[in-house]
Chain A
């Protein structure tokens, strides 16, 4: 999330995988803590936690100097959230058990899984993206059909899935949005997670008929709570995962800071300076938090819209505001907020619009009445919401 090793960033790629972005930190932590590690792990469990949660601003010192690594390094925090949650995740993975991260969309589940995979096994690339079109091949194996038809079933014609690749090398496989896959596709994971081997019936009779998982192999899956009912996981599969619920960022200041940081970075990538007032960002984050929680900061009841109101969406709006002020300067960016909010909220359910109006009637109006100039301006902009 925060690019810490900008030196290694290559200019022509939009994003870097975690293991490249934080290569220095990972190498440093591997050298820093040489305690016992679970089989197949590059770092000790404690270092993995430090990598994800940061070293609380304290510099860590290497015991003996290393030619390529700095002598001491402050590990930046990458995941804003409970440390205990990360601890549980690490313990789960250390037991080679499947880890399922669930939560509202936009709570950095995917980022956490990427960081964990990078820290544990050095790569976050063994990833299956779950969609309604994901087939069993993506979780088990596919065939190079040209070879298959030409030579018949041979190990050369076999195309490993990321999961099979992880099994062979004892690494962490990631399955994103697992609940978007069809249930019968998901269930391919059941035998993998319980037997820890995959059979290839087409190759029966040869040594390759069974692929056993090397130690260190495990699976991190993510699932959105909002996708419930799309393709519910079977009970058998659920039993093979430890569940961790990732909550939205609890602290308003931390969230505002995060939104600002990411919006600034994105706007600068777009080649402009970020010139949106902090008060506007405060308002934006407050509205998002209120609508997400169903309760305003003051404790007033708010009707939650059916749309996702994640931090990521708040960043998107902040970026739009930033780009708009940079390239199309036209007055106060605050004036654009209601329109953007309407765009975020009104997606598929028309009653969400009514809920946004209700929010304006409630908290926005009350805050305006309490004399806040920013909120009064927003209240005055109510006609933009129609």
Chain B
């Protein structure tokens, strides 16, 4: 690749300044697992790579009571999956990050990067959608917060403006009563990308469901959440029948894709089974 320059900003504002000034020819490099691959395959030929690796203060996991988990954009998947804080406060998130690829990729890929890449088969965006997480984005024009549920707008497309980078992910504090599960269903090797993946989060009090969050990933361009279906469970006991109904409605509401891992028809069948099983698994968490 001729004429590739690496830019190494030392701050977020320097980084977004580059994005504003250099426009189309810049590609942001976080961990690099996607970008380096695409460059090597000749599918991406940027003029500049904007490496975020030297910006201090983007690699952190903090918990603020009343606010939630704050995870810096350059935090690796592995750090999230192994973090005692994440495992305690949001085990569903640790599970979803653990499900990604293999340990080498997880040591390199970042929280900000996986959101910005918007790969339809990625595990973390699905879990973050179920968790009502938020993406914090910086640009020279300031900071804004984008709900994860609206963040991915299409295949490999996000709501990010060209001069914005992700600086943080925020997972709201549920007060410790939430239980979640992430289930990834593969149809070939254990190392395959998912055919269907489901994240489910239940908040219950005295056996009554106060909030149900369910997101289905790998079946469409964006993680699939249907709040009107989730609301069927609000204020009810999560009986087997109710869970089946939620699962059935999710399967009915989704128009899945066809790919090497399964046809649209097959995905529909599995969505129904997996949504049910994931809610049951979440409910079974002690």
A binds B: no
B binding-site residues for A, Cβ under 8 Å:
none
